[in-house]
């Protein structure tokens, strides 16, 4: 037996009968892609299984408020609906140093075995709080790296600071091998990097009445050939390439089915994309942010993911679960999720003509669409919630080893 977390524990284990306490620090006001697997894990791990102890996971998040009273938001509501604890750090302004004091108080009160940080701001805040406090860590630190968007100057600054922050945790978990290679190039020791792809839970197919209502709502007929793309409308998602490819498809495709493109999501590029789609008229529909995207996949013949960069996109897993034919760019973790020619058509990023050809092939070949969709559905078995839980637990077990030294801050 060796000392760890203030009590006797077996080497490489946790005390018998102990509930593991995990504090996950996240950013945001609604349930984004990185947060969905986290909430799924919190529910699945609550009671423990086999050699995995029960895990009490609570969220910690910052909320901006000038009056010091945090407002309710979709993220907080979703966590509470799942009976996941929430700790709120109130920011009165950007770079509010009082967040450090609040963070330390939460840590002292909660006494976590593990702190997870998600997104670059959270990595930086925890690293700064530890440096500011100047005390030895009594918890393991796992940083979850979800990739970079460089959507604005502030995020670009945090992402530069990430090169410093991510050298501090005991483990850095990222979502695909290319991201892992990038982290190692930026100075994170290879032995501290792990790859865990995202996962999704099973969902039932929407009933025909719901789909009929959605077709009426969005003025779609059952004869239309519908392409759907789901994601934030920002430059790195490549929607401008998809619009160009769709325009060429409309000019060159031969057939009697009407062509429709549905863009689901919102973001800084929306106005630009709407202008770019002006000549396509009602063939392109901007659906904006949708709280429940799942039924929309079943309106489509093809799911398109034209991104210039990706990690382990949940929307890709959702399209696989819906058994849609997939056309995607071979970036990030996409080739680790689907196989070109077997469960998807993969093309290089920025390749507008390749995207057009792939869409046209699927437009012309219904059996091919069926085969790709069925194969994608089978591939999804590798991304089950239980597989995700087991992979996260393997990382927990590694960082909880009582003979593992804490990284200096």
- Residue 40 and residue 82 in contact, taking contact as beta carbons nearer than 8 Å: no
Question: Strand 193-195 relative to strand 171-174: parallel, antiparallel, unpaired?
Answer: parallel
pLDDT, position 395:
97
Using CA atoms, how far apart are residues 48 and 52, in angstroms rounded to an integer? 5
For 63-152, where are the alpha helices, taking DSSP H only? 74-81, 98-110, 120-133
- Residue 251 makes CB contacts below 8 A (sequence gap 6+) with none
* 285 half-sphere exposure, CB direction, 13 A CA radius: 20
Beta-carbon-side half-sphere exposure of residue 84 (alpha carbons within 13 Å):
28
> Model's pTM, two decimal places?
0.88
Strand ranges in 28-146 using DSSP code E only, listed in sequence order: 55-64, 85-91, 114-118, 140-145
CA dist., res. 293 & res. 285, Å (int): 15
Contacts of 16 (CB under 8 A, 6+ apart): none
Rounded to whole angstroms, the Cα distance separating 20 from 287 reads 42
Tell me the β-bridge partners of 2. Answer: 9
Alpha-carbon torsion (115, 120, 126, 130), positive or negative: positive
CA distance linking residue 174 with residue 156, whole number of Å = 19
Which domains can be identified in the chain, with CATH numbers?
Answer: 2-199+385-399 (3.40.50.2000), 208-382 (3.40.50.2000)
> What was the pLDDT predicted at 409?
44
With H, G, I as helix, E, B as strand and everything else as coil, classify residue 346.
strand
- Report the distance separating Cα 234 and Cα 239, nearest Å: 8
SS3 for 401?
A: coil
pLDDT tens digit at each of 409 positions of the chain: 233 333 344 434 566 668 999 999 998 888 888 899 999 999 999 999 888 999 999 999 998 887 766 778 889 999 999 999 999 999 888 878 888 889 999 999 999 999 999 988 899 999 988 887 776 688 999 999 998 865 566 666 767 888 899 999 999 999 999 999 999 999 999 999 999 999 999 899 999 999 999 999 999 999 999 999 999 999 999 999 999 999 999 998 887 689 999 999 999 999 999 999 999 999 999 999 998 999 999 999 999 999 999 999 999 999 999 999 999 999 999 999 999 999 999 999 999 999 999 999 999 999 999 999 999 999 999 999 999 999 999 999 999 985 555 554 4
| Residue 91, strand partner residues | 64
DSSP-assigned states of every residue in 277-310:
TGGGGGGEEEEE--S--HHHHTT-SEEEE--SS-
Q: How far apart are CA 113 and CA 1, in angstroms?
A: 18
Cα separation of the two ends of the chain: 27
Q: Please tell me the distance from the alpha carbon of residue 135 to that of residue 137, in angstroms, as a whole number.
A: 6
pLDDT attached to residue 16: 61
Between the alpha carbon of residue 159 and those of residues 29, 50, 155, 166, 183, the distances in Å are 20, 39, 6, 10, 12
**Which phi and psi (to 5°) does residue 407 adopt?**
-70, 140
Give, to the nearest 10 degrees, the angle between helix 314-321 and helix 366-379: 120
Are 329 and 304 within 8 A, CB to CB? no
Q: Which of 236, 246, 328 is nearest to 285 (CA)?
A: 246
Sequence-separated (6 or more) residues with CB below 8 Å from residue 164: 127
Handedness of CA 346, 350, 351, 353 (dihedral sign): positive
326 Rama sector, left if φ>0, alpha if ψ -120 to 50, beta otherwise: beta
């Amino acid at each position: 037996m060796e000392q760890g977390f203030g009590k006797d524990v077996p080497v490489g284990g946790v005390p018998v009968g102990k509930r593991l306490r995990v504090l996950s620090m996240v950013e945001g006001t609604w349930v984004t892609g990185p947060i969905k697997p986290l909430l799924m894990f919190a529910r699945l791990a609550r009671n423990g299984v086999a050699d995995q102890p029960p895990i009490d996971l609570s969220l910690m998040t910052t909320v901006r408020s000038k009056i010091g009273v945090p407002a309710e938001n979709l993220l907080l509501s979703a966590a509470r609906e799942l009976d996941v604890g929430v700790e709120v750090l109130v920011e009165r302004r950007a770079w509010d140093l009082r967040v450090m004091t609040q963070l330390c108080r939460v840590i002292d009160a909660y006494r976590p075995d593990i702190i997870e940080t998600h997104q670059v701001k959270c990595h930086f805040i925890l690293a700064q709080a530890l440096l500011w406090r100047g005390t030895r860590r009594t918890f393991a630190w796992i940083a979850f790296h979800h990739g970079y968007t460089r959507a604005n100057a502030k995020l670009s600054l945090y992402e530069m600071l990430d090169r410093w922050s991510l050298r501090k945790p005991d483990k850095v978990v990222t979502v695909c091998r290319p991201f892992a290679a990038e982290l190692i190039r930026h100075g994170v020791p290879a032995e501290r990097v792990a790859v865990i792809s995202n996962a999704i839970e099973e969902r039932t197919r929407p009933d025909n009445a719901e789909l009929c209502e959605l077709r009426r709502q969005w003025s779609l007929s059952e004869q239309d050939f519908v392409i759907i793309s789901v994601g934030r409308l920002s430059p790195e998602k490549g929607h401008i390439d998809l619009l160009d490819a769709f325009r060429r498809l409309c000019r060159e495709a031969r057939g009697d089915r009407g062509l429709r493109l549905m863009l689901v999501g919102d973001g800084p590029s929306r106005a630009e994309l709407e202008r770019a789609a002006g000549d396509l008229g009602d063939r392109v529909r901007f659906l904006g942010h949708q709280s429940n995207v799942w039924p929309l996949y079943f309106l489509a013949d093809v799911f398109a993911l034209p991104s210039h960069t990706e990690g382990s996109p949940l929307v890709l897993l959702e399209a696989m679960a819906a058994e849609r034919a997939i056309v995607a760019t071979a970036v990030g973790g996409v080739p680790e999720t689907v196989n070109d020619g077997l469960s998807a058509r993969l093309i290089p990023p920025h390749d507008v003509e390749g995207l057009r050809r792939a869409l046209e092939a699927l437009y012309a070949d219904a059996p091919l669409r069926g085969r790709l969709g069925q194969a994608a559905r089978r591939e999804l078995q590798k991304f089950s919630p239980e597989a995700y839980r087991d992979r996260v637990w393997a990382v927990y077990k590694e960082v909880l080893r009582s003979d593992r030294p804490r990284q200096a801050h």
